[in-house]
Amino acid sequence: MVKNLLWAAIASLVLFFSTGVAPASAVELDEATRSIPLDTTGKTATLTTQEVTSGQRLFNLQCTKCHLQGKTKTNNNVSLGLEDLAGAEPSRDNLLALVDYLESPTSYDGEDSLLELHPNITRPDLYPELKNFTKDDLYNIAGYMLIAPRLDQRWGGTIYF
């Protein structure tokens, strides 16, 4: 029993230090934490805790190698922090705009397509790791990115790699 508890503690510590973010599944998130802007019209979307956890898992799997803790390796001026997302053209600080980015990423000023430069689901030939992503996966991962700043105050912070 004590041994099991010890292993559980070690496992969560390993998860915490490998991802930098406490697992969302460790707690049932309240509704305010799970509610995020859907689009730019003021509508909101509310994810379930399971959806947030699923999004976090996919993010840790596919995105942390460049976006650990919401920062952006090689160009942290374009972090996943809310201010940077809001400043993009079009602004990316809502669920549908982030889903759109994963379908068709564009440069920060919106001028250039990054289909050949940033992971997306439109070019499975270039990004096979995302080829099994479902629409739900996209929503969950996008939702997680908007909720993560509430779970980790250093999300997207200015600590450079």
Residues lying near ligand HEC in the complex (CB under 6 A) are found at: 62-63, 65-67, 72, 74-75, 78-80, 84-85, 88, 92, 98, 101-102, 107-108, 118-119, 141
- Taking the C-alpha atoms of residue 117 and residue 127, their distance in angstroms, rounded to an integer, is 10
Q: Which is nearer to ligand HEC, 29 or 98 (CB)?
A: 98
Instruction: Determine the Cα–Cα distance for residues 18 and 36; give it in Å rounded to an integer.
Output: 26
Contact assessment for residue 156 and residue 79, using Cβ atoms and an 8 Å cutoff? yes
CB of 76 to ligand HEC, least distance (A): 9
**What is the smallest separation between the CB atom of 34 and ligand HEC, expressed in angstroms?**
18
CB of 52 to ligand HEC, least distance (A): 14
Q: Which long-range contacts (CB under 8 A, 24 or more apart) does 118-122 make?
A: 119/62, 119/63
Region label for 156, one of left (φ > 0), alpha (ψ between -120 and 50) or beta (otherwise): left
Minimum gap (Å) between residue 95 Cβ and ligand HEC:
11
Closest C-alpha to 139, from 99, 102, 94: 99
Q: Which is nearer to ligand HEC, 29 or 80 (CB)?
A: 80
Q: Which is nearer to ligand HEC, 28 or 83 (CB)?
A: 83
| Residue 22 or 78 having the CB closest to ligand HEC | 78
Contacts (Cβ under 8 Å, ≥6 apart) of 84:
77, 78, 156
Shortest reach from residue 10's CB to ligand HEC, in Å: 28
30 or 109: whose CB is closer to ligand HEC? 109
